Amino acid sequence: MTETTLRPPFDPELEAALALVGDQLPSTLTAEMIPLLRQNPVSGEDEVFTVLDERGFTHRDLTIAGHGGDEIVVTVIEKEGRTGTGPGFFHTHGGGMIIGNRWLGVVGFLDWAERFNGVIVTVEYRLAPEFPDPYPVEDCYAGLVWTADNAADLGIDPDRILIGGGSAGGGLAAGTALLARDRRGPALIGQLLIYPMLDDRDESVSTQQIDGIGVWDRGSNITGWTALLGDRKGTDDVSIYAAPARATDLAGLPPAFIDCGSAEVFRDEDVAYATKLWEAGVQAELHVWAGGFHGFDMFAPHAAVAQAMLAARNDWVNRLLG
C-alpha cells in the first residue's frame, strides 16, 4: 500500500489482534505458498471435532457425485439422537478458492442447527488451481442438489434450506444461489454471505486500500482469482456463477444477509452486491463493521465489534427461520 492511499483505520481492539495474526499468516499469499498452506490447514479439524463432541453433535461423511460425475465428499452434522424435521444448512467453506476444507467455518452454524433442530451439510468442493472454474461452484451446486433430493432421509424440510459460507465460501454460496435460480431449483429460503468474495476484476477502492496489510489483501485476492480463472481473470469471459458481482439481474434470488469489515478488500463489492439485490427487489440486509479486517470474527471473536457482528448474523437467521 502506498503512503498516499487512505483507508479506514482498524478498530483498536482488532489492530492488537492483527499484530498476532501477522506472525502466523502473511498479508499477501502467493501461488508458491499454496502447498505449504495446505499442509497446515486453517480449519483446525481436531478443534472442530472436539467442539462437535463436546456439544453432542454427530458427523458422518458421504460420497456423492460432484461436477462431471466425479466423487466428492459431504459431511452431515446433526445433534446426537435428533428426530423430526428441521431446516437444512448447506455450508460452503472459505479459503480463497485455494485452501481450506469443509470444516472451516462450520462451527459457526452449530447454534442454529441446535436451536432449530436442523441439519448441516458441508461440502468438500475441489480447489483451484488444480480444479479451476467451474469445478468449485458446480461441486457446491451438486452438493445442494443432493441435499434437496435427500431431504426426507436427512430430516430436512425442503422448503427451509439456507445456504451460507464465509469469504470464498460466501462467493460460492452466492454463485450456487444463482445456479439454483437459473436451473429452477433447489429452492432456498435464504443466503448467508459472510464477507463474500464476489468480484475478480480488482477495480474497487477497497482493493487498492488493503494492499500489503491486514488479512487477505489485494495480492492474495489476485492469487485466488488467478488460480480459479487463469487468463480469463478480469476479462469478459467470466461467468456470473464464478464471480457473482458480474451478474446484472439478481431478480428472483432468496433473501440475503451480507456482512464485511470497513477495512477489507471485499468491502466495496459486498456493498455493491447488496445494492444490486435491492435494485432487483430482493430483500437484503447489509452490515459493514467499522474497523474490521477480513475474517476478524474468526481471528478475534471476543472483540466487541466481532461480538456485534456475530449477534447481527444470529438475529437475521432467527428472524428468517423463527
Q: Which triple of cell numbers denotes residue 255?
A: 433473501
Q: How far apart are CA 298 and CA 261, in angstroms?
A: 13
What's the pLDDT at 4?
53
8 A C-beta contact, residue 229 and residue 242: yes
Q: What is the DSSP letter of 255?
A: P
From the number of C-beta atoms within 10 Å of its C-beta (0-12, 13-18, 19+), residue 111 rates as middle
What's the pLDDT at 45?
87
What's the pLDDT at 5?
77
What's the pLDDT at 2?
45
8 A C-beta contact, residue 162 and residue 132: no
Angstrom CA distances, 55 to 78, 80, 172, stand at: 10, 9, 28
Angstrom CA distances, 164 to 167, 200, 205, 248, 270, stand at: 10, 20, 26, 22, 15
- Beta strands per DSSP E along the chain: 57-65, 71-79, 86-91, 119-124, 156-166, 190-194, 256-261, 284-289
Name the residue among 257, 268, 273 with its Cα closest to residue 310: 257
Q: What is the DSSP letter of 117?
A: T
pTM to 2 decimal places: 0.97
What's the pLDDT at 40?
76
187 Cβ contact partners less than 8 Å away, ≥ 6 residues apart: 148, 158, 159, 161, 180, 254
- What is the residue-level pLDDT of the chain in tens, covering all 322 positions? 445 579 999 999 999 999 998 888 899 999 999 999 998 766 678 899 999 999 999 999 999 999 999 999 999 999 999 999 999 999 999 999 999 999 999 999 999 999 999 999 999 999 999 999 999 999 999 999 999 999 999 999 999 999 999 999 999 999 999 999 999 999 999 999 999 999 999 999 999 999 999 999 999 999 999 999 999 999 999 999 999 999 999 999 999 999 999 999 999 999 999 999 999 999 999 999 999 999 999 999 999 999 999 999 999 999 999 9
From the number of C-beta atoms within 10 Å of its C-beta (0-12, 13-18, 19+), residue 161 rates as buried
Q: How far apart are CA 57 and CA 114, in angstroms?
A: 9
Q: Which triple of cell numbers denotes residue 316?
A: 437475521
Q: Which triple of cell numbers denotes residue 93?
A: 467453506
What's the pLDDT at 264?
98
